[in-house]
Amino acid sequence: MNGLAEKVKYWNPYLGGALLGLLLFLSIFVTSHGLGASGGVNRIAVAVEDLVVPEHVDKTPYIAKMAGGDRDPLAHWLVWEVAGIMLGGFVSGLLRGRVKVQTYHGPQISPHSRWAYAFVGGTLMGYGARMARGCTSGQGLSGGAVMSVGSWAFMFAIFAGGYGLAWFVRRLWQPEA
C-alpha cells in the first residue's frame, strides 16, 4: 500500500502547470517581476532578528541592507506575496476540506521523526536558497521562463541534489521494500 493511494483530489498536473504558467506570465507582464517566496520569508526572518537584536542587525552587512537603521524589512512586495501565498493555500485547502492539523510522513517513520527531518531539511533549504539568490519559485520558475542561464543551471542542480540523495534516504518516503 503506498501512502499516496488515499483518495485525494488534486488538479491534473498539466492543468495546474498551465495555470501557474499563465499566472507567472501575468505577474511578469504587469509587474516586471516573476513569482517569489524565499525572499519574502527571508525578510520576515530579518524582521524578527531586527526586533530581538537591532544593534546586531545594523552591524551585519547582508541583513543591514534590509533592516539597518530605519529600514523596514517588511516594506517589500515579496512580503505581501508571501502573505498572499499563505492566504491562497489556506482558501484552497478550506474548499477541499484539507485544512486540518496533521503530519504528512512516509509510511516507515513516525510523525515526530518527520518533524525533525522537516526542520533539518528546511534549514538546508533556507541556507541554500539564500546562497542561490532565490528558491524554486524565484530562480527556478521565474528565471527559467525568462531563460536565464544561471536559473537553468540552478534547476538542474536542485534535481541533481534531490535525485543524488534520494536512494540513501528512501526510508523517509518509500513504503517498506
Partner 1 sequence: MAPFDLVSLLGVTGSYFIYLAIGFAFGFILESSGFGDSRQLAAQFYFRELRVVKVMFTAIVVAMILIFWSTALGLLDYDQIWVSPTYLWPGIAGGLIMGIGFIIGGYCPGTSLVSAATLKLDGIFFLLGNITGMVIFGETAGLINTFWNSGYFGTFTLPELLHLETGIVVVLVTCLALGMFAGFEWIRGLIYGRAK
Residues 63-102 that bind partner 1 (CB under 8 A): 63, 75, 77-78, 80-93, 96, 98-102
Residues that bind partner 1 (rule: CB under 8 A) add up to a total of: 127
x/- site string to partner 1, residues 25 to 44, per CB under 8 A?
xxxxxxxxxxx-xx--xx-x
Distance CA 161, CA 71 (A): 36
Counting contacts by CB under 8 A, is residue 1 touching partner 1? no
Distance CA 165, CA 152 (A): 20
User: What is the identity of the amino acid at 21?
Assistant: G
Counting contacts by CB under 8 A, is residue 23 touching partner 1? yes
Nearer to partner 1, 54 or 88 (CB): 88
Pick from 70, 158, 171, 177 the residue near partner 1 by CB under 8 A.
158
Long-range CB pairs of 128-133 (<8 Å, 24+ gap) are 129/38, 129/42, 130/38, 130/42
Distance CA 68, CA 76 (A): 15
Pick from 55, 149, 176, 177 the residue near partner 1 by CB under 8 A.
149
Non-local (6+) Cβ contacts of 171 within 8 A are 106, 108, 109
The least CB distance from residue 94 to partner 1, in Å, is 8
Non-local (6+) Cβ contacts of 56 within 8 A are 49
Counting contacts by CB under 8 A, is residue 59 touching partner 1? no
Is residue 41 within 8 A of residue 74, CB to CB? The reply is: no
The least CB distance from residue 128 to partner 1, in Å, is 3
Distance CA 16, CA 92 (A): 13
Counting contacts by CB under 8 A, is residue 164 touching partner 1? yes
Q: Is the dihedral of CA 168, 169, 174, 176 positive or negative?
A: positive
Pick from 18, 51, 72, 110 the residue near partner 1 by CB under 8 A.
18
Pick from 54, 72, 110, 153 the residue near partner 1 by CB under 8 A.
153
Pick from 72, 150, 176, 177 the residue near partner 1 by CB under 8 A.
150
Counting contacts by CB under 8 A, is residue 21 touching partner 1? yes
